[in-house]
Structure 1
Amino acid sequence: MRAVSLYSGCGGLDYGFHENDFDVVYACDNDESAVKCFNQNFEGNVAVVRSVESPEFINDLERLNDIDLVLGGFPCQGFSKSGPKKKDDIRNKLYLGMVKAIEELQPRFFVAENVDGMAQNYNGEFLNTIFSDFEALGYHVKYKILNAVNYGVPQFRRRILFVGFNNLRDYENFEWPSPTHKGGSRNGEFKLEDETDLFRLQELPEARTISDAIGDLLENDDVIDHLWSESPERQNSIIEHIGPGQKLCNVRFSDTSVYTWQIPEVFGEVTEREIILLETIGKNRRKKKYGNIPNGNPLSISVVNELSEMNFIKSEFESLVDRDYLKIRDGKYDLKGAMFCSGLYKRPLWNEPSPTVITVFDNPRYFIHPLENRPFSVRECARLQSFPDNFEFLSSGIPIKDAYRLIGNAVPVGLSRSIASSLVQLLTPAENQHVA
């Protein structure tokens, strides 16, 4: 089965199909490092630096023939939870390159991937548009949100998958891959369809954890290829205070939060009286009686005094403003850094799946190794994305920061492998002789 890959990145989506003997005969991405990495790990140097909006891309399509599958994880920045959501982000329209490729190549199948935020943001407007544009090509289309943790990936990572078929038989016979591991939604996430089938999930093995994935790398110095984005001294002073399952977060008061005023050697000395002031604001800023700002409300001096049963004066608030512990909003005071409600310097739990691997997983400001005071290494991040160890990143000659970025943007191989296996089930015995 001959496959074409668009927006290929380093090849996470494609590698799961490669393992199922699909032959990727053409791949493109507008990122030079992505293409280098792809060609390092796939035979034939089939990847080229190419924008799907370029005339050269159209010329490439015209030279391709007998294509069975088109793959594409089109850019998702306009929908991603980890970045600013912009309805008019021009990258939201890049999926049209995949529409053009399907129209030109008329494959038997196509598989498209994106973040699950597409189903929620803008009232699902983009999901409906993309679904309709695929169907307008004459394809029968299904879509579903899957969580990679349910397919043997040691990471919570939800993605929406579109699968299209050019014949009704394949469409009717296709079954989404069944979960192979337990693992549910995290706080704040809606439950997925598979999670409601509790009886089946109870019979499955537990989700794979960070320990399962990288435990054997602790004593292996060869994999410690990581970056410090700031001075190691400052970073160490912070992360030494962050315990298992904790994060640096001033605005959510819980056992998982460490507050900046608890690290005075980095953020500046505070008195016991000032700590009372800061904690009073922190514990009450999200109460609806003080306003309806989603992330929290500034409090007046009089309110703080009433709540704390203290008699703070304006100069005490201003001093904390000068030292970046507080900020002023509409004449009232709120904790500085309230925008980081999800926290920084997160230290995941060793015996749980990883949080979603991001493009800056190398930076300890975002994630810290569960047991050691350092960022994750490139190979550790690759393991969390279920890349096999023979999939090379740094040996392809790309910078280490690019390696982290490519890994963070990739589809986990374990998830793509599961989708590929489901498509293989549709092949006739004669076709399976070539694929098996």
Structure 2
Amino acid sequence: MAVKEQLLRIEDVALELNVSQKIIRKHIHSGALKSTKTVGVHYLNPKDVKAFVKSNVLAKTPKKPVKNIRTKSVKTDDVNWVNIAGSWENPSKTELTSADLFCGAGGMAKGFEMAGFTQVGGLDWFKEAGMTYRENFNHPHILGDITEKEVKDKFIETVQSSLKGKPLTVLSGGFPCQGFSMSGSRIVEDERNSLYKDMLEIIDALQPEFIVAENVKGLRSMLKGKVEDKIKEDIAKLGYNVNVTVLNAANYYVPQKRERIIFVANRIGKKNYHPKPLLTPKNYVTTKQAIQDLVKHKDDANFNHVRTKHSDDMKNRLAKVEEGKSLYDNYSDSWKKCPWNEASCTIKENHGGVNIHPIEPRVITVREMARLQSFPDNFIFKGAKGKQMMQIGNAVPPLLAKAIALAVRETLAV
């Protein structure tokens, strides 16, 4: 059963009450201000905020006005949570179809395949990722630059040919968004955002029933939330109603705490659903559960499990790094040691800096990375080892994609 929530975020309340977000967090932690925490984000009911104001607790706290805020953030998540637990195990095969832009190695495609969808096409420019994609899937893959008309046309024609006159159910994509900036009160886009515009053009051409767009959580704060608003507006202009929230992959059996913003939109008059978490932090799949058996597994290039050879000095340095900490102070997002008895920290490949193994003095292998991203063991990665790690670090965890796909199926079942 879906539950609709219209709640405020901490930044919204801070702006409304003209205090810092730090003060709001302080009163949440003290219990004076009620909140609901979902996938790591606090949400507040407007009624609870009013009760908090009436309690006069805030009057006793020195106010620190929020500076340099031009406009009030009006962003509140309008989320329709749906329970997918009943369909999680062995989903039936359907005639529903999906295609993927910026597909990389195929994490999103694999997840939709696990959820019973038939994938009809993928597009990406990354050569080695394309090699991996074609190794693991039978459907068409277009290798090329989406900004080139012939590449874009080829993808559209390939998908339409595979559909044989039927509508495309879902078009997904993890689009880049670094090219947004401000000119006065107006959002502008530079040439780096041509990829985003090309995605909109393909949506308009293929007219999928649903759009699933994924991005890093940090998009929410870009230009004080205006980028998120513009993306929703642009999709709505194409005839879609849009819902968006942040999902944590660990809530869907991925042994990794990885938060991503997920846009779900449809043009067929249905309610957009996001998958209700299947797990809580108390029962997340841990790093140990995911990769412990690989400690005794011999190096095997065909299995993508080859240990990096470190010098004795590097081994000593890696062994001394605490769980959750990084080898280098200046690179906190790379060379970070995964916790052993918790879900892993976010898996990345950052200019050669990958995650450190929790109990061995080395970085994790490609297969260990793949396990922590929830790729099955029969999913084989191609290219040089460094390129394989880039593919995995950039991928959407298949089990997160599966959860999203099952939520789309629930939408169509209503």
- Normalised to the residue count of structure 1, the TM-score between the two structures is 0.64
Specify the alignment match of 1:145 in structure 2: 246
SS in structure 2 of the partner of residue 120 of structure 1: helix
Q: CA deviation at 1:224?
A: 3.6
SS in structure 2 of the partner of residue 425 of structure 1: helix
Specify the alignment match of 1:49 in structure 2: 143
Native 8 Å contact 1:154 1:386 kept in 2? yes
User: 1:114 and 1:415 mapped to 2: Cα distance?
Assistant: 13
Native 8 Å contact 2:264 2:273 kept in 1? no
2:217 counterpart of 1:136: no
Aligned 1:9-48 pairs, distance under 5 A: 9-44=104-139, 46-48=140-142
Native 8 Å contact 1:156 1:354 kept in 2? yes
Native 8 Å contact 1:249 1:343 kept in 2? no
User: 1:249 and 1:163 mapped to 2: Cα distance?
Assistant: 37
Equivalent position amino acid for 1:23 in 2:
T
Specify every segment of 5 or more residues in structure 2 that has no aligned partner in the other structure, as ranges.
Answer: 1-95, 161-165, 181-187
2:176 counterpart of 1:75: yes
2:380 counterpart of 1:380: no
User: 1:399 and 1:118 mapped to 2: Cα distance?
Assistant: 31
Aligned 1:410-429 pairs, distance under 5 A: 410-428=395-413
Native 8 Å contact 2:103 2:122 kept in 1? yes
Specify the alignment match of 2:380 in structure 1: 392
Aligned 1:198-213 pairs, distance under 5 A: 206-213=283-290
RMSD: 2.4
User: 1:344 and 1:390 mapped to 2: Cα distance?
Assistant: 27
Specify the alignment match of 1:263 in structure 2: none
Specify the alignment match of 2:274 in structure 1: 176
Q: CA deviation at 1:348?
A: 2.4
Q: Could you give the per-residue CA deviations for residues 321-347 of structure 1, whole angstroms, max 9, x where no partner exists?
A: xxxxxxxxxxxxxxxxxx44x376432
Specify the alignment match of 1:270 in structure 2: none
Aligned 1:244-259 pairs, distance under 5 A: 244-248=323-327
Native 8 Å contact 2:355 2:363 kept in 1? yes
Specify the alignment match of 2:215 in structure 1: 114
Specify the alignment match of 1:357 in structure 2: 347
Native 8 Å contact 1:13 1:73 kept in 2? no
- Say if 1:349 and 1:211 are closer, same or farther in 2 by CA, change over 3 A: same
Q: CA deviation at 1:401?
A: 0.8
Q: Could you give the per-residue CA deviations for residues 47-92 of structure 1, whole angstroms, max 9, x where no partner exists?
A: 121211111133222454332221111135679xxxxxxx977444
* Matched residues, number: 301
Q: CA deviation at 1:245?
A: 4.4
Q: CA deviation at 1:137?
A: 0.2
Specify the alignment match of 2:17 in structure 1: none
Specify the alignment match of 2:295 in structure 1: 218
**Share of identical aligned residues, percent?**
35
SS in structure 2 of the partner of residue 236 of structure 1: helix
Native 8 Å contact 2:323 2:358 kept in 1? yes
Specify the alignment match of 2:321 in structure 1: 242
User: 2:263 and 2:241 mapped to 1: Cα distance?
Assistant: 10
User: 2:358 and 2:291 mapped to 1: Cα distance?
Assistant: 11
Aligned 1:169-318 pairs, distance under 5 A: 170=270, 172=271, 174-183=272-281, 206-221=283-298, 222=300, 224-227=305-308, 232-248=311-327
Specify every segment of 5 or more residues in structure 1 that has no aligned partner in the other structure, as ranges.
Answer: 80-86, 184-204, 251-338, 430-436
Q: Could you give the per-residue CA deviations for residues 90-123 of structure 1, whole angstroms, max 9, x where no partner exists?
A: 4444222221111001111111111010001221
Q: CA deviation at 1:212?
A: 1.1
SS in structure 2 of the partner of residue 94 of structure 1: helix
User: 1:232 and 1:49 mapped to 2: Cα distance?
Assistant: 38
Q: Could you give the per-residue CA deviations for residues 344-378 of structure 1, whole angstroms, max 9, x where no partner exists?
A: 643222101111111249x5x55310000111011
- Say if 1:350 and 1:27 are closer, same or farther in 2 by CA, change over 3 A: same
Q: Could you give the per-residue CA deviations for residues 204-235 of structure 1, whole angstroms, max 9, x where no partner exists?
A: x511110011111111113641445xx62442
Equivalent position amino acid for 2:277 in 1:
P
2:387 counterpart of 1:402: yes
Q: CA deviation at 1:24?
A: 1.5
Specify the alignment match of 1:320 in structure 2: none
Specify the alignment match of 1:96 in structure 2: 197
2:267 counterpart of 1:163: no
Bigger proportion of residues as strand: 2
Native 8 Å contact 1:248 1:343 kept in 2? no
Q: CA deviation at 1:2?
A: 2.4
Equivalent position amino acid for 1:225 in 2:
V
User: 1:108 and 1:58 mapped to 2: Cα distance?
Assistant: 19
2:286 counterpart of 1:154: no
SS in structure 1 of the partner of residue 275 of structure 2: coil
SS in structure 2 of the partner of residue 95 of structure 1: helix
SS in structure 2 of the partner of residue 240 of structure 1: helix
